[in-house]
Amino acid sequence: MAAKSALLRKIKRPPNIVLIFADDLGYADTGVYGSKTIPTPNIDALAKRGVRFTDAYVTAGTCSPSRAGLMSGRYQQRFGFEFNTAGAGITHRESRGLDPAVITFPKVLQHTGYATGMFGKWHLGTRSYFHPNTRGFDDFFGFLAGAHGYFPVKKEERVYSTVMRNKTHLKEPEYLTDAFARETVRFIHKNKDKPFFAYVPFNAVHTPIEASKTYRDRFPDVKNPQQKTYNAMVSALDDAVGAIVGALKETQTEKNTLVIFMNDNGGPIYTRVQSNAPLRLGKLFLFEGGIRVPMIMSWAGVLEAGSIYRQPVSSLDIYPTLCEAAGITLPPELKLDGVNLFPHLNGEIDTAPHEALFWSNGPNKALRLGQWKMVQAHDHVWLFDLENDIGETKNLAMAKPEILKTLQAKLKQWQIEMKPPAWPSKPRRRKVKVDGALYELNI
C-alpha cells in the first residue's frame, strides 16, 4: 500500500484523530460491506478515501469487555474484565469498571497536548474514578451505562443512565444520534487550531430500536416496522458520520485528520433485523458473526485511497497505531497486545500483524491462527478453515487433529497469562444449542 513511514516523519503537526465506534451494527449493514437495502453514502465514502479491512476483530462479543480492550490496547482478561459490567445499578454498587491502574490511550494523547473529547456511550464504569473525565477526556457528553433510549426521557432515570455533560446531568431534547454528532461537530470547531482527538462511541444501533419519523420515512417500502426502524437508525448513524466529516472540511482539518470507523461487536441475532452475512451467528458468540466487525481507516496522503487490507487485525491495534500517528514513543514497560498497523498498511512489513488472536468468555474460548479458527464451548470444539469457509459451516476438528492440537496448545499458553474474571457473568444467562452442542451466552 502507498503510505510510507517517511510520510509520518515529515508531518509537521501531529494529526487530528477521530475514532467513530458504532454499537451492535451488523457486519453487512453498510453499503461498503455488502448492504443492498440500507444506503450509507458517508461511511462508504470513508472507505473510498482510505483502507477497508476485511478481517478486523474486536476482543469480545459483547459491549463492555470490547471497549476495555480498545481503551487499554491489552486483552481485557489481563485485568479480569471478562464479562459485561451488567446492569447500571450493579455496576455502580459493586464498583465494576476499567481498572483505574490501566493507562488508556486518550490519557496518553491528553498528556502529550491533544484536546480530547468523548461523545457517546462509555460502559466502562459509573463511579467517579471510572468517569471519562478521569480517564483522559477533557470534554465528555454522553452516558455511562450500557444502553440508553434515543428520545427525550419522559420520567426521571437513574443518575448513571442519564445524559451528562462532563459530570452534570441533563435532559437532551434531540434524537440521541443527532445529539452526539452535534457535540462532536462543536468540539471539532472549538479545537481546530490545535491537535484534537474525538472519540465518538455512538449507542446506535443498540436497542431500543428507535428512530425519528424523518429517518423512518426514508424507507417507505419496508413493511416490517422493526426492520424499517432499524434501517432508519443506520441511516441516522450514516448522517452523523457525514456531519462529522463535514465539520473537518469546514474547519479545513480534513487533510490532517486520521478517521477510523469500526464497531464494538457483531450485530445481535435476537433483534432479527441486523445482518452479519456471510458470517455465522452474532453478538454474544465467539463465532465470526460475534467478533469480526467493519473497520475503515482514512488519512489523506498517508493511507492509500480505496485500498483493502485482508490480514487479521484487532481493536487492540488502535492504541499503538494512534500513538504512532501522533509521534508518541511509548515506554517499554507499557506492554500492549496491539501493534502499530502503519508498517503493515504501507507495505514495509508483509507478514500479518498478529501470529494469533484470542478470545475468552466464560467456558467459551476461541483462537485464530492464520486461516484456522478454533471455537470451544464446554466440552465441544470446532475447527474452521476461514480461508475457504468464512461462514464456519464445516467443522474440521476430527479431520485435522494436528492443527487442532497446535491451536489448543497456543490457547492454553495464552490462558496462563490471563487473570480470572473480576466479577461473574450476568445472572440468568442462557444456554443455546449450536450444532447440537451447548453454548453458554455469558454477558
For domain 356-441, the CATH class is alpha beta
Question: What pLDDT is recorded for position 136?
Answer: 98
Would you call 147 exposed, middle or buried from its count of C-beta atoms within 10 A (0-12, 13-18, 19+)? middle
**pTM for this prediction:** 0.96
Cα atoms found within 13 Å of the Cα of residue 432, Cβ hemisphere only: 9
Q: How far apart are CA 284 and CA 130, in angstroms?
A: 24
Residue 260 · residue 296 · CB < 8 Å? yes
Can you give the residue ranges of every domain in the chain? 5-345, 356-441
pLDDT at 88: 61
Torsion over CA: 143, 183, 305, 321 (sign): negative
Closest of 337, 412, 400, 345 to residue 371, by C-alpha: 400
User: Which of 303, 365, 90 minimizes the C-alpha distance to 295?
Assistant: 303
Mean pLDDT, contiguous 10-residue spans, the chain (443 residues): 50 90 98 98 98 98 98 98 82 87 98 98 95 98 95 70 92 96 98 98 98 98 98 98 98 97 98 98 98 98 96 98 96 95 95 98 97 96 98 98 98 98 86 94 92
User: Grid coordinates 475447527 are at which residue?
Assistant: 383
Residue 240: predicted pLDDT: 98
CATH of segment(s) 5-345? 3.40.720.10
Q: Looking at residue 162, what is its pLDDT?
A: 87
Question: Which residues are within 8 A (CB) of 172 and not within 5 positions of it... i.e. 6 or more apart?
Answer: 152, 163, 179
Crossing angle between the packed helical segments 225-250 and 41-49, to the nearest 10 degrees: 50
